[in-house]
Structure 1
Amino acid sequence: MSYHYPLDETWSKEEIIDVVNFFSLIENAYEQQVEREELLAAYRRFKDIVPSKSEEKTYFADFEKASGYASYPVVKKARESEQKTIKLK
Protein backbone atom coordinates (compact mmCIF):
# COMPACT_ATOMS: atom_id res chain seq x y z
CA MET A 1 0.00 0.00 0.00
CA SER A 2 1.65 3.22 -1.12
CA TYR A 3 -1.17 5.66 -0.43
CA HIS A 4 -2.66 7.42 2.58
CA TYR A 5 -6.12 7.03 4.02
CA PRO A 6 -8.29 10.16 4.02
CA LEU A 7 -8.32 11.32 7.65
CA ASP A 8 -9.27 14.39 9.65
CA GLU A 9 -6.64 15.71 12.06
CA THR A 10 -9.37 16.64 14.55
CA TRP A 11 -10.37 13.00 15.07
CA SER A 12 -9.23 11.16 18.18
CA LYS A 13 -6.73 8.33 17.94
CA GLU A 14 -9.58 5.83 18.40
CA GLU A 15 -11.61 7.46 15.61
CA ILE A 16 -8.61 7.35 13.25
CA ILE A 17 -8.09 3.68 14.02
CA ASP A 18 -11.77 2.95 13.36
CA VAL A 19 -11.79 4.83 10.03
CA VAL A 20 -8.58 3.11 8.91
CA ASN A 21 -10.13 -0.23 9.87
CA PHE A 22 -13.22 0.56 7.77
CA PHE A 23 -11.17 1.48 4.69
CA SER A 24 -8.98 -1.58 5.24
CA LEU A 25 -12.11 -3.75 5.10
CA ILE A 26 -13.09 -2.03 1.83
CA GLU A 27 -9.68 -3.00 0.41
CA ASN A 28 -10.10 -6.56 1.62
CA ALA A 29 -13.52 -6.81 -0.03
CA TYR A 30 -11.77 -6.31 -3.37
CA GLU A 31 -8.55 -8.23 -2.69
CA GLN A 32 -9.92 -11.17 -0.69
CA GLN A 33 -13.27 -11.15 1.09
CA VAL A 34 -14.70 -9.73 4.30
CA GLU A 35 -17.28 -10.80 6.82
CA ARG A 36 -20.51 -8.96 6.06
CA GLU A 37 -21.34 -8.23 9.71
CA GLU A 38 -17.83 -6.96 10.44
CA LEU A 39 -18.03 -4.61 7.47
CA LEU A 40 -21.47 -3.31 8.45
CA ALA A 41 -20.31 -2.74 12.04
CA ALA A 42 -17.26 -0.84 10.77
CA TYR A 43 -19.49 1.24 8.49
CA ARG A 44 -21.84 2.08 11.39
CA ARG A 45 -18.81 3.23 13.37
CA PHE A 46 -17.58 5.24 10.37
CA LYS A 47 -21.01 6.93 10.24
CA ASP A 48 -20.72 7.78 13.96
CA ILE A 49 -17.50 9.61 13.12
CA VAL A 50 -18.64 11.04 9.76
CA PRO A 51 -22.43 11.52 10.07
CA SER A 52 -22.77 13.91 7.13
CA LYS A 53 -23.63 12.26 3.80
CA SER A 54 -21.68 14.91 1.89
CA GLU A 55 -18.58 14.36 4.06
CA GLU A 56 -18.97 10.61 3.59
CA LYS A 57 -19.01 11.08 -0.19
CA THR A 58 -15.89 13.25 0.05
CA TYR A 59 -13.99 10.66 2.11
CA PHE A 60 -15.16 7.86 -0.20
CA ALA A 61 -14.02 9.85 -3.27
CA ASP A 62 -10.64 10.66 -1.68
CA PHE A 63 -10.13 7.01 -0.76
CA GLU A 64 -11.06 5.84 -4.27
CA LYS A 65 -8.74 8.39 -5.84
CA ALA A 66 -5.85 7.23 -3.63
CA SER A 67 -6.50 3.48 -3.73
CA GLY A 68 -8.66 2.73 -6.76
CA TYR A 69 -11.24 1.03 -4.52
CA ALA A 70 -14.81 2.36 -4.48
CA SER A 71 -16.38 2.16 -1.02
CA TYR A 72 -20.04 2.68 -1.90
CA PRO A 73 -20.49 -0.54 -3.96
CA VAL A 74 -19.03 -2.59 -1.08
CA VAL A 75 -21.32 -1.02 1.51
CA LYS A 76 -24.32 -1.35 -0.82
CA LYS A 77 -23.62 -5.03 -1.47
CA ALA A 78 -23.20 -5.69 2.26
CA ARG A 79 -26.52 -3.98 3.03
CA GLU A 80 -28.44 -5.81 0.31
CA SER A 81 -26.82 -9.22 0.61
CA GLU A 82 -27.68 -12.08 2.92
CA GLN A 83 -24.31 -13.76 2.33
CA LYS A 84 -21.92 -14.08 5.26
CA THR A 85 -18.99 -12.77 3.24
CA ILE A 86 -18.63 -9.94 0.74
CA LYS A 87 -16.29 -9.99 -2.26
CA LEU A 88 -16.09 -7.54 -5.15
CA LYS A 89 -14.03 -7.84 -8.30
Structure 2
Amino acid sequence: MNYHYPLDDSWSTQEVIDVVNFFSCVEKAYEKSVNRGELLAAYRKFKQVVPGKSEEKSYFRDFEKASGYASFPVVKKARNSEQSAISMN
Protein backbone atom coordinates (compact mmCIF):
# COMPACT_ATOMS: atom_id res chain seq x y z
CA MET A 1 0.00 0.00 0.00
CA ASN A 2 1.72 3.15 -1.22
CA TYR A 3 -1.13 5.62 -0.90
CA HIS A 4 -2.80 7.72 1.75
CA TYR A 5 -6.35 7.51 3.02
CA PRO A 6 -8.49 10.60 2.48
CA LEU A 7 -8.79 12.12 5.96
CA ASP A 8 -9.89 15.41 7.49
CA ASP A 9 -7.62 17.23 9.96
CA SER A 10 -10.63 18.22 12.08
CA TRP A 11 -11.54 14.60 12.89
CA SER A 12 -10.84 13.13 16.31
CA THR A 13 -8.49 10.17 16.67
CA GLN A 14 -11.46 7.81 16.97
CA GLU A 15 -13.06 9.24 13.83
CA VAL A 16 -9.82 8.73 11.90
CA ILE A 17 -9.68 5.14 13.17
CA ASP A 18 -13.29 4.54 12.08
CA VAL A 19 -12.70 5.91 8.57
CA VAL A 20 -9.42 4.03 8.11
CA ASN A 21 -11.09 0.83 9.34
CA PHE A 22 -13.86 1.22 6.74
CA PHE A 23 -11.41 1.79 3.88
CA SER A 24 -9.37 -1.17 5.14
CA CYS A 25 -12.48 -3.34 4.85
CA VAL A 26 -12.96 -2.15 1.27
CA GLU A 27 -9.36 -3.15 0.53
CA LYS A 28 -9.94 -6.59 2.04
CA ALA A 29 -13.00 -7.08 -0.19
CA TYR A 30 -10.84 -6.57 -3.27
CA GLU A 31 -7.72 -8.37 -2.10
CA LYS A 32 -9.36 -11.49 -0.64
CA SER A 33 -12.67 -11.20 1.23
CA VAL A 34 -14.17 -9.39 4.18
CA ASN A 35 -16.82 -10.41 6.68
CA ARG A 36 -20.12 -8.85 5.62
CA GLY A 37 -21.11 -7.89 9.18
CA GLU A 38 -17.70 -6.31 9.82
CA LEU A 39 -17.94 -4.29 6.61
CA LEU A 40 -21.46 -3.04 7.30
CA ALA A 41 -20.54 -2.12 10.89
CA ALA A 42 -17.48 -0.23 9.63
CA TYR A 43 -19.66 1.57 7.06
CA ARG A 44 -22.15 2.62 9.77
CA LYS A 45 -19.28 4.12 11.80
CA PHE A 46 -17.94 5.80 8.65
CA LYS A 47 -21.39 7.35 8.11
CA GLN A 48 -21.33 8.76 11.64
CA VAL A 49 -18.12 10.59 10.73
CA VAL A 50 -19.17 11.46 7.17
CA PRO A 51 -22.98 11.77 7.27
CA GLY A 52 -23.49 13.75 4.05
CA LYS A 53 -23.98 11.91 0.75
CA SER A 54 -21.95 14.39 -1.32
CA GLU A 55 -19.16 14.35 1.26
CA GLU A 56 -19.23 10.53 1.22
CA LYS A 57 -18.96 10.51 -2.58
CA SER A 58 -16.00 12.87 -2.38
CA TYR A 59 -14.13 10.62 0.08
CA PHE A 60 -15.00 7.53 -1.97
CA ARG A 61 -13.70 9.23 -5.13
CA ASP A 62 -10.47 10.33 -3.41
CA PHE A 63 -9.92 6.83 -2.03
CA GLU A 64 -10.53 5.25 -5.44
CA LYS A 65 -8.07 7.65 -7.11
CA ALA A 66 -5.41 6.79 -4.53
CA SER A 67 -5.99 3.03 -4.26
CA GLY A 68 -7.89 1.90 -7.34
CA TYR A 69 -10.59 0.41 -5.10
CA ALA A 70 -14.18 1.61 -5.52
CA SER A 71 -16.03 1.73 -2.19
CA PHE A 72 -19.63 2.06 -3.36
CA PRO A 73 -19.82 -1.31 -5.20
CA VAL A 74 -18.49 -3.05 -2.08
CA VAL A 75 -21.12 -1.45 0.18
CA LYS A 76 -23.86 -2.16 -2.38
CA LYS A 77 -22.84 -5.81 -2.68
CA ALA A 78 -22.76 -6.20 1.11
CA ARG A 79 -26.22 -4.65 1.48
CA ASN A 80 -27.74 -6.83 -1.24
CA SER A 81 -26.03 -10.08 -0.28
CA GLU A 82 -26.86 -12.72 2.27
CA GLN A 83 -23.36 -14.22 2.08
CA SER A 84 -21.22 -13.96 5.20
CA ALA A 85 -18.12 -12.95 3.21
CA ILE A 86 -17.89 -10.27 0.54
CA SER A 87 -15.33 -10.56 -2.23
CA MET A 88 -14.96 -8.34 -5.28
CA ASN A 89 -12.92 -10.89 -7.23
User: Is the TM value for this pair above 0.5?
Assistant: yes
Alpha-carbon distance, 1:52 to partner: 0.2
- Secondary structure of 2:83's counterpart equals coil
2:84 maps to 84
2:61 maps to 61
* Runs of at least 4 residues off by over 4 Å: none
- Give, in whole Å, the separation in 2 of the partners of 1:86 and 1:2: 24
Alpha-carbon distance, 1:68 to partner: 0.1
Paired-residue identity, %? 71
Give aligned pairs, total. 89
- Give, in whole Å, the separation in 1 of the partners of 2:32 and 2:88: 8
1:29 maps to 29
Letter in 1 for 2:34: V
Structure 1 gaps of 5+ residues are: none
Alpha-carbon distance, 1:79 to partner: 0.2
- Give, in whole Å, the separation in 2 of the partners of 1:62 and 1:21: 16
Letter in 1 for 2:24: S
Alpha-carbon distance, 1:26 to partner: 0.2
1:48 maps to 48
Letter in 1 for 2:85: T
Letter in 1 for 2:71: S
RMSD across aligned C-alpha pairs, in angstroms? Answer: 0.4
